[in-house]
Amino acid sequence: MTPRLSFTELIDHHPGQTADLLAAKVLRQACDLMAADAGTLFVARHVRGETHLEPSAAYPETGEPRAAAPVPAEVQQAMRTGAAVLDPDGRGGAFPLTNHGGETVGVVALVRHDGGLSEAPRDLFVRFCRLAGAAVERADLLERIGADPATTDERLRDQVETLARIDVPDGMRGDDAFRLTISMLARAAEIYDEGTGNHVYRVNEYSHLLARTLGQDEKYCHRLRYSAQLHDVGKMSVSPAILRKSGDLTPDERREMDNHTVYGHRILSKSPRLDMAAEIALNHHEKWDGSGYPNGIAGEDIPLSARIVQMADIYDALRSRRAYKPAFDHARTREIILTGDERVDTAGHFDPRLVEAFAASEAEFARIWDEMTDG
Ligand SMILES: [Fe+2]
Ligand SMILES: [Fe+2]
């Protein structure tokens, strides 16, 4: 069975919310990346040997029945050829969504009414479409994985790893291309997680702030600022059945969840420019007293980058509403980090230097949260 057939088969058998919600998120992000003000995401369905495109998400939401509009010719062409079709005036385009195997699983049509689409390098947007296509595809694997967790994971993991190898296309200015690629990777990873909006960008900024407060040099601060956002990239390799389980995890499931650190490291250590990101992914759940995971290392054995990102990540998690907790305001969050509560053990979890750095810069944390709040 080809991946595309299994994907559409799963959609047809499980017309649940997951795929639609995910499609809406993917579309929002595609609009963001290309500066589009409207778009539609079409998913390919195979019925009796014929391929149909069905609208799965629209932005802005119209509230109208989606199937009513005919599928535009350029969308059909993008589906048929697997290549992007751009309007001559640059205001719109149809971009194929592909899975890891390179098969077209849908099309995103984007329009910008008051100007041209973003000049963001198209090669990189294509790569986003591949990650996004794979994400939509994977959402539909959820039920099957839920029924039989062992079968698909090894293969999916390999696919994610193959895809995550960062190679900057020829002829592009290296730094910009590289930065954009990893930011897309972070966004794609986010799609798998709790829908945490700007979380990864805020973590970049808090981390940068802490590094500066600690007096790290410019180069270190710069690297940390783009590496921090990838801390949870390994969650792409954790079974969605576990990632999205609402009740308590079994010990096995917990172990698999904790492995996002190891998976992230495995994905990121394939690119030499991401070695800081790789060490962060591996170590951001280690604790100062050695009670963390995956290796239970302690103190200065934990790379500074990971100690910084851990504090940034915890601040943001405390400020955010999660399934198991309400959102806390800055004052409460500050209190918890500086003195601890039933979840956070300040002396056990954090490098004392970082607690000091947080105390010295906490007002800036509040500013970053306010400025980059989830819209
Ligand atoms: Fe994590
Ligand atoms: Fe995080």
Of 120-134, 180-194, 300-314, which has the strongest mean pLDDT? 300-314
Q: How confident is the model at residue 143 (pLDDT cuts 50, 70, 90)?
A: very low
**81 or 127, which is more confident:** 81
pTM higher than 0.95 for the full model? no
Task: Report the pLDDT value the prediction gives residue 350, as an integer from 0 to 100.
Answer: 97
Q: Give yes or no: residues 185 and 132 share one domain.
A: no
Q: How many Å lie between the centroid of ligand 1 and the Cα of residue 260? A: 7
- Mean pLDDT along residues 288-305: 96
- pLDDT at site 50: 77
Query: Pick from 140, 170, 196: which residue ends a domain?
Result: 140
Residue 215 has pLDDT above 60, yes or no: yes
pLDDT value for 192: 59
Work out the average pLDDT over 58-86: 84
- Classify the C-alpha dihedral 348-349-353-359 as positive or negative: negative
Distance 69 CA to ligand 2 centre (A): 39
- Residue 201 Cα to ligand 2 middle (Å): 10
Residues around ion ligand 1, judged by CB within 5 A, are 232
Domain of 66, CATH number, reads 3.30.450.40
pLDDT at 142 over 80: no
Provide the pLDDT confidence category of residue 348 given band limits of 50, 70 and 90: very high
| Residue 128 and residue 183 in one domain | no
Q: Which of 25, 235, 245, 270 is catalytic?
A: 235
Domain that holds residue 356: 159-375
| pLDDT in the model for residue 157 | 53
Q: What is the pLDDT of residues 228-269, one digit of tens each?
A: 999 998 887 787 778 777 788 888 888 888 989 988 888 788
Q: Are 235 and 243 contacting, i.e. CB atoms less than 8 angstroms apart? A: yes
Q: Are residues 233 and 370 in the same domain?
A: yes
**171 and 122 housed in the same domain:** no
- For the chain, what is the domain count? 2
Q: Taking residues 124-141, what's their average pLDDT?
A: 72
What pLDDT does 9 receive? Answer: 26
Predicted pLDDT at 6: 25
Residue 155 pLDDT level (bands cut at 50, 70, 90): very low
Q: 6 CA distance to ligand 2 centroid (A)? A: 31
Do 129 and 172 belong together in one domain? no
Task: Give residues whose Cβ lies within 5 Å of ion ligand 2.
Answer: 232, 313
Closest CA to 262 of 302, 305, 294: 294
Q: Does the active-site annotation cover 219? A: no
CATH number of domain containing 247: 1.10.3210.10
Whether pLDDT at 182 is above 80: no
Mean pLDDT of 165-180: 56
Arithmetic mean of pLDDT over the chain? 80
Q: Which ligand is nearest to the CA of 312?
A: 2
Phi, psi of 247 (to 5 degrees): -80, -170
